[in-house]
Amino acid sequence: MKFANRVESLPPYLFAEIDKKRQAAIARGVDIINMGIGDPDQPTFKHIVDAMHKALDDPSTHNYPPYQGMKEFREGVVKWFEKRFGQKFDADKECVSLIGSKEALHNCIFATIDKGDIALLPDPAYPVYKSSTILSGGKPYVTPLLEKNNWLPDLTKIPSDVAQKANIIMVGYPNNPTGAIAPLEFYDEVIAFAKKYDLIVLSDNAYSELTFDNYVAPSIFQAKGAKDVALEFHSLSKTYNMTGWRVGFAVGNEKVIKALSTVKTNIDSGVFKAIQRAAITAFDTPKEIIQKNISLYKERRDVAIKGLRELGWNIKDPIKGTFYLWLPIPPSFKASTDFASAMLDKCGIVVPPGSGYGEYGEGYFRIALTIDKKRIEEGILRMKKEGLVFAQACSVK
């Protein structure tokens, strides 16, 4: 049998490989503490589930949906966006429904990258950015995210000849995997850079509503001139505990929306109408319900940071966005994969190695705060017992 070269050029998908190792450990009888994937452990909010039940009972939801999304859904999107970010969009021309933002990121890259085109991508980053570029025949050009730069790309380091050959630049804040946040001034720089080199900006804002300590994440469209060059992806997965529902939306430049929609109409048939109706209900979720969810993650964040500090990690400032902790591996390990393997083999803890997010992720690992705080505390105790600490002189109280 012969397969396409594009398939052979791709590494195994990080989370699929992690899940294989997790399942194998479970089969061996290991009590697994899974800090690997950003999948909320709390149920979808009841009022959303109730709306879904009602929609399922309506036979008019059982046929094909409009490719761009139901008009009521798109109108709900732009209404929510204006209320949240103060920016207006045309529901018919500047908005499209998504089967989650993952497929849309891939399809948008497919719509904007031809063979040989350069994509300016962050590193470390969500693996889909790079894999989709490769599948599209493009050439990823890495813009490193470094701690000394607060995990923001230094656009001045991108050679002008590379920028001139590029077609897209990808950004994503609050950031997966680092948990970093970006000030609005950063988006001003990105828009100016994009206009200078005639680039399309793709902004992944899946974690915009998952923020802490009174921090409110901006949208790229709050930067002047963003609609001239940008598209922003949003997902209902993290905000409303709807990862399995596969629903999101993109808003932005009309031409980019059209290109994305053209690809999507040839690949998928849209989001199930009943899910779109439930999503419309989600947009009207009371703030106190969402805040209760955020408070749960904040409590877990604080428990994890306290325990990790006692194990020697020098964590200065708690994350302001996402439910991830991005941490250096102990100096006794040469590679992040070695540390991740030790965590699984010795402690029964699943964490992804930083190298799975790109070459600049080497030396780090990620923790997802999507498990109960008691399991986080249990994980910390296991790490201490097995000596998986950052510094030897530490104690757990």
Written as six digits, the tokens of 361 are 């992720």
**What is the CATH superfamily name and number for domain 5-43+288-385?**
Aspartate Aminotransferase, domain 1 (3.90.1150.10)
Average pLDDT per consecutive 10 residues, the chain (397 residues; last block may be shorter): 76 73 84 92 97 98 96 98 98 97 93 96 95 94 97 98 97 97 97 98 97 97 98 97 97 98 94 98 97 96 97 92 97 95 94 95 97 97 96 47
User: In the prediction, which pLDDT does 397 show?
Assistant: 36
Q: What is the pTM of this model?
A: 0.93
Angle formed at CA 146 by CA 392 and CA 8, multiple of 5 degrees: 100
Written as six digits, the tokens of 97 are 């429904």
Which residues of the chain form CATH 3.90.1150.10? 5-43+288-385
Q: Of 161, 188, 179, 193, give the one whose Cα is nearest residue 124.
A: 179
Whether domain 46-283 has CATH 3.40.640.10: the reply is: yes
Which residue, chain included where needed, has tokens 């036979």? 59
The answer to whether residues 201 and 232 touch, using CB atoms and an 8 Å cutoff, is no
Which residues of the chain form CATH 3.40.640.10? 46-283
User: In the prediction, which pLDDT does 393 show?
Assistant: 43
User: In the prediction, which pLDDT does 152 show?
Assistant: 98
